[in-house]
Structure 1
């Protein structure tokens, strides 16, 4: 067990060691400074010309929002119709059927907004083409949308304006070409060399140790699994997600995938400090977020490692909560994943969360609810600033001075907006739950 805990600590340390220089690099990318990925400039220029985008045109916050919403609407329609007619398109060696309209809409909008809720099993619900040109595509663009949105925040704090905030499409394209794509290539190669499939052949017939003949789904999964984690997306190629032996073959790939989930949310915190030239502020935010994460992680870890007390009363010597967990990962690595995947809103699983202990489940729900202890890439930091504005306002009133943050007064208008956003989340959840309970 001590070895397994060491594995968790090593995973966190490696994540931090990668995230810090990555944050510095991200800040340089969004500032337009020279980086080693400048060789992508001609390709980016081609995309801008193809889309009729002037990369030098500055946008205000309203234009950024309009660009974000319009381009996402196009992707929603595109994804919906591909899923609706997927059986008539190529790359369907297993003969999977079309998605019904309600499921196609649910899947398209779920992956578009980085929710990645799956009401289907990847092996039977999607074709290889749909997995690649819809699911994988949306996992790239939804992740890039979140990062581009937080880049606007960086620019606003640095320039102290809401008018000239850079170009949304520049932030968006550079996020894909210079951040997500290089990292995904590295991760996909690591997964392929450790057993994750990446071919286009259909199901394979395998004879088990018991002598049974079974069909095992395959496909070009490695690339999708890479962006699934690096983009804090979460939707799995296989129905069992990262508990599946082909999606997450061993402890090494488990470390790779959990590190990949967290590096961008962490890196963006440091990137904020570097971008606005207030590194200490970035460190403070990181420290607060880490403390919040640990407040969920420690109870979850203890609860899972101690297991169900009812089993101890029955005289069982090993009472750790192994139900729903993979033996190749163990309890600590599963508990670490449970908390990390919920606090950063990835949602991928290497164990079944409905089998966790009650206290662990509560920690996971709180992680999803707050979504600001690292949080999803981009959106976690945006959520954090909502709570930060409220905290600054209250603390300012407590000491009897006008609340300020980074030289800007936090007054009634800012407080009202922050409060509405903070309350909207639980309001939608509670009202939605109440309506569904009443209807059902």
Structure 2
């Protein structure tokens, strides 16, 4: 069992490194050259988009214009998606004759998909028509992912350039991110999933007769195309309510491994792209290494805890060891075809990259194993992170690390030749504080108000964990949840929508302001006092800062939830 598990993780790591290198080089060419790869095929489409929108691709923007364009673009997408849901009863491709989505659910869903959260307070197969799934939800899967990518690109340009006010052209970046990166990858991914048995059809549900003679309605639709972009764009919203545990979304162990790699592909490649942009690939690999180490620690903790079994059952002498007759461990809420290693890796990755797709019930994990996905989201999902948001979130922590190191030696902090002054540090601090405030304030409100406490499906510390997980997930733009949380209640629909907005757009604006400030700075040559930011020592320091900042901010909340629940479980007491 141990050899099999280690072999599975080793194969995953090797493939991920290969994808990071190849895709990182490709994206560096896409966004940093006038003639990107496949320009002969896609170039006419790109130029047609510019002409249709009246965009001059050669004209670059200050960070304020870049941010305004990005915010207006997402506002339009939000209103359009809300309108599609409310009007779906009169729109085509509605074979189930579904009525309009209720106003609150439509609003929550529109916010969810525009913010790249894909939090779902509904059952997809029985609420959304095929047209809504395709023209509404799937389109936003592309555009919200592109939004994260272009924000990261702007910050990378701010670090790579000097003495300029321009951080790029938001319309060019959005077009290229969608046309050259997301669409081709999603097409390849969808074809792979169809080959593995994932449905892709515009026909409605079919009725089957079971062995007992009962009639069962089996929903179908364009599942493979939405599944591919939901993973590649770290979106996470499933076509079916069971998400990636559903056999129509994730039918085989091969698709399970592939979907994990889909989630990580772009986030893991962007640090390598960043290394190309700043003309020092060691910088990109240092960031990649820090992300990989924290990810590996999380996978190790969850796998060991889940494979070790439930300590409460162990007190009664229940055999939970893996053997030829049983998989062992805590198998509650997991699919047999994926096993504990495949479920644990999926759970850690999906919460590290802000995807939120799940192939097992996180609510059924043991307390310490459930703590890891929660902590991943509370860190801002920078452990590779969301598409784009992971890189710019990690760069915020890089700047925090060089600032702390500069204070320790009494020097003005520098990163890539840029002096990090008070203005930049204020933006960095605000970025970290906005996310923390959203998680903790909404969790506190839900814990204090009767309407909030009613959302928890369990009493005691596990019920508190459900609330803390929900607002960590929505603020972190993840979208997964502990199953006991009642996401369809009015209080939940309103507060989670606010948490999703606070978790997405203030951070993007702060990052773009940071990009503009850094782009205007001159680059200073390194000196004897300059801290190298590509060494193993810096990687270790960066990891330490991430864990300490996260620990100081969220340890009290985690202590009230999963930690105390674990102690009660070991003591033989449960709520």
TM-score category, normalised to shorter length: over 0.9
Output the CA distance in 2 between the equivalents of 1:132 and 1:406. Answer: 43
- 1:305-329 alpha-carbon deviations (Å, 9 max, x no partner): 1121222333332341111100010
Partner of 2:389: 379
Q: Does 1:357 align with 2:359?
A: no
Q: Does 1:73 align with 2:75?
A: yes
* 1:438 CA drift (Å): 3.1
1:161-172 matches, cutoff 5 A? 161=163, 163-172=165-174
Partner of 1:192: 194
- 1:80-115 alpha-carbon deviations (Å, 9 max, x no partner): 111011111111111222101111010001100101
Output the CA distance in 2 between the equivalents of 1:431 and 1:313. Answer: 38
* 1:423 CA drift (Å): 1.3
Q: Does 1:400 align with 2:413?
A: no
Over aligned residues, Cα RMSD in angstroms?
Answer: 1.3
Output the CA distance in 1 between the equivalents of 2:153 and 2:240. Answer: 33
Output the CA distance in 1 between the equivalents of 2:18 and 2:133. Answer: 32
Contact 1:139 1:231 in 2 (8 A): yes
Partner of 1:177: 179
Q: Does 1:214 align with 2:216?
A: yes
Q: Residue 331 of structure 2: which of 322, 330, 339 is its match?
A: 322
Output the CA distance in 1 between the equivalents of 2:11 and 2:158. Answer: 36
* 1:211 CA drift (Å): 4.2
Output the CA distance in 1 between the equivalents of 2:288 and 2:17. Answer: 10
Match of 1:198, SS state, is coil
Partner of 2:32: 31
Contact 1:128 1:220 in 2 (8 A): yes
Larger RCO of the pair (alpha carbons < 8 Å, separation 6+):
2
Partner of 1:244: 246
Q: Does 1:282 align with 2:288?
A: no
Partner of 1:205: 207
Contact 2:26 2:37 in 1 (8 A): no
Q: Does 1:19 align with 2:50?
A: no
Any stretches of 5+ residues in structure 2 without a counterpart?
A: 321-327, 452-575
Contact 2:244 2:250 in 1 (8 A): yes
Contact 2:260 2:346 in 1 (8 A): yes
* 1:128 CA drift (Å): 0.1
Contact 1:27 1:274 in 2 (8 A): yes
Contact 1:146 1:377 in 2 (8 A): yes
* 1:74 CA drift (Å): 0.8
Contact 2:196 2:255 in 1 (8 A): yes
- 1:252-284 alpha-carbon deviations (Å, 9 max, x no partner): 111111110001000001000011111001111
Contact 1:12 1:259 in 2 (8 A): no
Output the CA distance in 1 between the equivalents of 2:399 and 2:239. Answer: 39
Q: Does 1:268 align with 2:278?
A: no
Q: Residue 390 of structure 1: which of 394, 397, 400 is its match?
A: 400
Output the CA distance in 2 between the equivalents of 1:247 and 1:417. Answer: 40
Contact 1:16 1:263 in 2 (8 A): no
Output the CA distance in 1 between the equivalents of 2:228 and 2:276. Answer: 27
Q: Residue 425 of structure 2: which of 406, 410, 415 is its match?
A: 415
Match of 2:143, SS state, is helix
Contact 1:224 1:237 in 2 (8 A): yes
Q: Residue 343 of structure 1: which of 331, 347, 352 is its match?
A: 352
Contact 1:300 1:360 in 2 (8 A): yes
* 1:133 CA drift (Å): 0.5
Distance 1:407 1:418, change over 3 A: same
* 1:214 CA drift (Å): 1.0
Output the CA distance in 2 between the equivalents of 1:109 and 1:162. Answer: 34
* 1:166 CA drift (Å): 1.9
Match of 1:383, SS state, is helix
Contact 1:8 1:333 in 2 (8 A): no
* 1:7 CA drift (Å): 2.4
* 1:156 CA drift (Å): 1.5
Q: Does 1:427 align with 2:427?
A: no
Q: Residue 226 of structure 2: which of 224, 227, 245 is its match?
A: 224
Contact 1:390 1:418 in 2 (8 A): yes
Moved over 4 A (4+): none
Partner of 1:369: 378
* 1:437 CA drift (Å): 3.1
Match of 1:165, SS state, is strand
* 1:162 CA drift (Å): 5.3
Output the CA distance in 2 between the equivalents of 1:19 and 1:394. Answer: 30
Match of 1:41, SS state, is helix
Q: Does 1:312 align with 2:314?
A: yes
Distance 1:425 1:310, change over 3 A: same
* 1:37 CA drift (Å): 1.5
Output the CA distance in 1 between the equivalents of 2:269 and 2:209. Answer: 45
* 1:73 CA drift (Å): 0.8
Structure 2 length-normalised TM: 0.75
Distance 1:97 1:168, change over 3 A: same
Tell me the number of residue pairs that the alignment of Structure 1 and Structure 2 aligns.
440
- 1:363-383 alpha-carbon deviations (Å, 9 max, x no partner): 111101111111101111111
